[in-house]
Structure 1
Amino acid sequence: MARRLPPLNALRAFEAAARHLSFTRAADELFVTQAAVSHQVKALEEHLGLKLFKRLNRALMLTDEGQHYFPDVRDALDQLDIATNSLLKADSSGVLTVSVMPSFASLWLVPRLQQFTQQHPDIDVRIAAYDSLADFDRDDVDCAIRYGKGKWDNLYVEHIMDDEMFPVCAPHYLERNPSVITPNGLQHHTLLHDYAVLSEAETWAYWLKHANITGVDHTRGPKFSHTHMAMQACLSGEGIALGHSSMISSELQTGRLLRLFNISVSSDMSAYFVCSQNGIERFKIKVFRDWLLSESA
């Protein structure tokens, strides 16, 4: 059977006014105007068909009906508060499922994940690495890291970092092939390709054109379905790849990869944090978002 419940805001206004025996103090507690409290109480009285207050010149008193109703409403709101706090506390721990592209997960997220775990030991991150975009209404996913232009309707979207492309190789490859020290020397070397690129700016053809380099056959060389596979081949010394600044900062800092030339191309794609519009209010999602932003700063 359907419950015949009054609006929650009206109940909150009545409980505060009954506890203080003052619309003014109730308004201060609820951060609304005195008129708003009076309006909510009047709406509740009309809903019930009963008078709950006696409005005197300089005082406010409960009617017999109001005195009977007040303790039950107070207890009900207290129970609702307890239930809500319990739910939010439970959401501060447990599993957090993050949807992310396989390459971004492998090259950037996973190597840093231990730092998040150390800061939030009660949250167990589960990485769902897929090329397809998660559907927050259908899939068991809490939040996502997406690579694109940030145009996803009806979702909470926050920019994490921009991306640039530039040639990189492993140190031992450079030792074996000193002729690569100039851009024109690329014609004598193996180019590694990621054929699942989302933008023309991520291709060798675009970079070579931007760098005004001719005589290099950009169609030759091994091709990989994911960026992290091309980077692994690069780390193994199999050739020269176009590195994403958003994914290989650690490899550059540790010297596992070397940037060859001071010529880069800005991608029209960036990394974004994404979740449902209401999801950003959840504790686990919010702290993960905050950690992402601090790591990418």
Structure 2
Amino acid sequence: MAQRLPPLNALKAFEAAARHLSVKAAAEELFVTPGAVSQMLKTLETHLGVRLFERVNRGIHLTPAGRDYLPSIRNAFRQIADATRRVAASTDSGVLTISVTPFFASAWLVPRMKSFQDAHPEIDLQIVTSNALVDFSRSGVDVAIRHGLGRYGGLRSDRVVAVEMVVVAAPSLVERLGLPAGAEDLVRWPHVHDAERKGWSLWFQSNGIEELRAPRGPSFDDSSLLLKAVLGGQGAGLLPAAMVAGEVEGGQLVKLLEETHMEDFAYYLVCPEVTQNDPKIATFREWILGRS
């Protein structure tokens, strides 16, 4: 006889609680009470006959059984989301939802959108601006445009365009450390990083310097937060020149060296591999790569 599956809501509660390591945060995400989440977790543990969480000092931690169980449950939810996306693709309204950073949207995408709409009036673009990374299985986003190295597991990445990058720092930091005479002087500076923590290493390599130490300093997946950290004097930042032009002109930031291009560190069009051949996505990919 086939084994009875656990309740779906209990599995959702387990995945959310395991991801947040917090019953309260899981409850907020699922729009239920913390007590309801705790009860669903207890139901699941009873069904499985094994403890999934340790309750310690008002917090929770996964047991070895919980850590072993989580990847399969997470993958199952992703497969359900991907299958749902594929089935819905044939009957959707023709809207393509694109997640893009506010800077790229205003500086590059929006000024060029009319040519896409003229060529493809059957597709309506819905632009969602965000600096955060996209969870395609949960967000309803079809494609995203992100700045980095374009290396994302399970996702297709196509390089759209590389932009001029500039090294900047707050005047207070420059006053303390002095203006660098060249790229080699910046090795000893504190650095603020993007989420992939690769930008500075690539920048040093492009300037003929093999950085010997691992990247140190805070990192951010939100470029606006990265900029705030640089403005606050936490370290030198490597940012698109057009993004910080106003701050440099206004004196809030100091340009330490001239702009440079790093071909691998670019804006990429990203989508799940399972949906890369969706007609709307393929049409948009062909258009945007033809514009870059």
Fold conserved between structures, TM > 0.5: no
Return the TM-score normalized by structure 1: 0.42
Return the TM-score normalized by structure 2: 0.43
Which of these two proteins has the greater Rg computed from alpha carbons?
1
